[in-house]
Structure 1
Amino acid sequence: MKHIITTAVAATSLFLLLLQSVTATTTLPSDVSALKAIKSAINPTTIPSYSCLATWNFTSDPCSNPHITHFLCGLTCTNNRVTQLTFDRVGYSGTLSPLVSQLTQLVTIDLSDNKLSGPIPSSLFSLPNLQTLNLRSNSFSGAIPPTISNLKNIETLDMSHNSLSGSLPDTSTSLTLTRLDLSFNKLTGPIPKLAPNLIELAIKSNSISGFLPKTSFTELTQLEVIELSNNSLTGTIPGWVFLQTSIQQINLANNKFTGLEILKPAGSNNNNVIAVDAGYNKISGHLTANFTAFPSLSSLSLSYNKLQGPIPVEYSKKTSLKRLFLDGNYLNGVPPEGFFSGKFSGSLGDNCLKSCPASSELCLKSQKPTSICRQAYGGKVCVKPKA
């Protein structure tokens, strides 16, 4: 009898403990109302029965455990606050409710690969603890609110593949931002001053214009990747871009650059450039050999510009260089024999070269007709490509 009483007391204590635990994790009411507003802003016909949002049934508490039938996924809680909001990629349509700002303990928001539309609510950028914001591959439109500068703890910001317009946001006060991707939008205007601790910068496939301003990049001592291809940038690609010690990859292809300044790095240990793509611009002049002074350069593309003159022999002797694309220019003379040892991939076609062996992959594209080459050189140089 004593054993039965002891067991009953223990069971009651365990029940009370569990009850206290559940009570302790009851979601803050303002978080619950925010979650209700977020779900209400989603078109219900785009919420499949198997999706995360379909399990958001507010007859139970979002942060209480265990989750058996409701709130199976889509959010993470710490104690009684929502700290992570993650939509599964099932094609939700609708808008993002401004009441998302009530989830003040959010650290991560990932709504990527859905069909959300409308403007990004400015209240989103008032979240004091937000570190990761991923709105990639939706249909958000309108300008990026200037309140984006209020995200004092943001580290990763991805709003690529949307329909955002207007000017680029000023992120210079975001001391924690390391990855910024605004690619594939409709953004215009010049490049503003950037967050000083950026590691990766991607703004490709917009309508960014103007020169590459040094003042926007001078404090970026950790920047490794610059991706600015498919824009409307003009002027000369300045030499300082390639001399920042942390830079590894630079893609400036498909812009309107007319010049290229290449300065030799000060020492072999002071440069980490691996890949450069400045193809499909309007760069004229002679091909400089200075690129070969970059100790780690492995891939170089200057395709479809207006470069003239011979190809410097230094390129064929560059041991780190594996991929070289010089096609679509007006380069003349005989290409260095070292290119045809089999270690290079790329293209030397559609130039004004002589004796580019058809047996080499580099020469698969035929050379330009003599008449075009003569015109490029003002009729003073007769360059007849060898068949």
Structure 2
Amino acid sequence: MQTPNLTFLFLSILLSLLPILTNSLTHPADIAALADFKSAITNPRWLSCLSKWNFTASDPCEFPCGITCTRSNTNLHSRITAITLDPAGYSGHLSASLANLTALEHLDLSGNAFYGRIPRSIFRLPSLKTLVLASNSFTGPIPMSLSKSSSLQKLDLSHNLLTGSVVQSLGSLSSLTTLDLSYNKLTGSISGTLPPNLVELALRGNSLNGFLKQSVFAPLRSIQVIELAGNRLEGKLESWLFLLPSIQQMDLSNNSFTGLAVQSPLVNGTNQLVAIDLGFNHIEGTLLVQLAQFGSLASVSLRHNSLTGPVPAEYCTAKEGVGFRRLFLDGNFLNAEVPRGFFENEDFVGSFGDNCLEGCPASMAICSPAQKPESVCKKQQQHSWFWFVIFVSSLILVDICIVNPLSNILNSK
């Protein structure tokens, strides 16, 4: 409910605009809403776009910048369909009166200093297709009314101070293809339902945690780009993630993933995966040959994990004699010799430094920085053998304590 002061302010603006409203190109309700929006912004800079909005001198649809209008044959007045402000450091709360611009399709206020909560009413605009509020200082949770914005195609709220969790029920947003909530303060897991026709999903630079669930991502048949870097996600990355039918780029770096399972694509050439970044996690195990069987995969980063074993020769010869064009494996515990094909390919870009590899001197660009000291490599090898022995011992104990007694009982009957 509006306070009396806000009601009085809105009526005052409306009365001051009365001479314009009675003889205007722009719909009167749009003029009033736009004037209220401007009045909530503090000190527009001289020569900025907003400083040129003079409601007493010209009609909003004739403003020199920031406004796009459309006039249909059935309407007497033009309607404001787009507002795009320049990044001039505009500051203030976002006026809820924007919800009265019922023909608005595009709103871009990025690169400014707007603050406070995002009005819930904005997501109820019936024609809104693009909402870009990136690089401001908005706070509070993402309004639940987002799930009602059925016409929305692109939403970018990145680089703000938003808190809370990702809205759980976004499955009804069938028109949304781009969702960017990166670099906020969002927490919790990625759960619920995501927009089914998403093409790009960016949630990087938050504090999201938990596991990636197949039930959440598998329905995304059109997803091409997934960016989840810089969170607290954990667990083992399973094959289904790399076999999403339209996936091309995936950045899961700077998380806490511990394992990697990859199956070869069932039909050669059907997978479109081009680049994956799994760097700066806690992934253990050996490098998987199956990665080389993704026909379009050209760039792989697994730097700064806990990988051991050799670099598969298939990584430089699998695809018609040509392997990955970009391969970053520095900061692991890989051993043995680097396949010579990497040194012979002048177009190859990558790094094998800071491992336990042989024949890879730091004087060579792709072997920089220097390999780990021998003492560190031996300690890691002993650590790996220790856990291998523990694993084998546990299997033997299971066989002795459970399988054999059960077998003896069955045989005695």
**TM-score, normalising length: structure 1:** 0.88
Tell me, what secondary structure is at the counterpart of 1:148?
helix
Shift of 1:280: 0.3
The aligned counterpart of 1:76 is 68
Tell me the distance in 1 between the aligned counterparts of 2:288 and 2:91: 52
- Structure 1 gap ranges (5+): 1-21, 382-387
Aligned residues between the structures: 353
User: Could you tell me how far 1:340 is from its partner in structure 2?
Assistant: 0.6
Contact 1:245–1:271 (8 Å) recurs in 2: yes
SS in 2 for 1:324: strand
Matches within 5 A, 1:124-143: 124-143=122-141
Give the share of equivalent positions with the same residue, in percent. 47
- Distance in 1 of aligned mates of 2:166 and 2:362: 47
Q: Which amino acid aligns with 1:82?
A: I
Asked if the contact 2:314–2:323 (Cα under 8 Å) also holds between the matched residues in 1, the reply is no
Shift of 1:62: 3.0
The 3-state SS of whatever aligns with 1:128 is coil
Separation in 1, partners of 2:148, 2:103 = 15
Q: 1:351 aligns with which of 350, 355, 359?
A: 355
Q: Note closer, same or farther for the CA distance 1:320–1:287 as it changes in structure 2 (3 Å cut).
A: closer
- 2:211 maps to 1:211: yes
The Cα of 1:372 is off from its aligned counterpart by 1.0
- The offset of 1:357, in angstroms, is 3.6
Q: Where does structure 2 lack aligned partners over 5 or more consecutive residues?
A: 1-20, 72-77, 386-413
Whichever residue aligns with residue 282 of structure 2, its letter is K
Match of 1:378 in 2: 382
Matches within 5 A, 1:52-71: 52-60=49-57, 62-63=59-60, 67=62, 71=63
Find the counterpart in structure 2 of residue 95 from structure 1.
93
Q: In structure 2, which of residues 80, 83, 86 is the aligned counterpart of residue 85 of structure 1?
A: 83
Cα distance in 1 between the residues matched to 2:244 and 2:225: 11
Q: TM-score, normalised by structure 2?
A: 0.82
1:206-355 equivalent positions in 2, closer than 5 A: 206-318=206-318, 319-341=322-344, 342-355=346-359
User: What SS does structure 2 have at the residue aligned with 1:173?
Assistant: coil
Distance across 2 between alignment mates of 1:60 and 1:216: 53
* Aligned residue type for 2:30: D
Map 1:71-220 → 2, pairs under 5 A: 71-79=63-71, 80-169=78-167, 170-192=169-191, 193-220=193-220
Does the Cα contact within 8 Å between 2:306 and 2:332 map onto a contact in 1? yes
**Are 1:296 and 1:320, in contact at CA under 8 Å, matched by a contact in 2?**
no
Paired amino acid for 1:27: T
Conserved? CA contact 2:49–2:86, under 8 Å = yes
- For the 8 Å contact 1:43–1:92, the answer to whether it is kept is yes
- Quote how far apart the aligned CAs of 1:360 are: 2.6
RMSD: 1.7
For 1:59 and 1:155, locate their aligned partners in 2 and report how far apart those are by CA, in whole Å: 35
Q: What CA distance in whole angstroms lies between the structure 2 residues aligned with 1:90 and 1:288?
A: 50
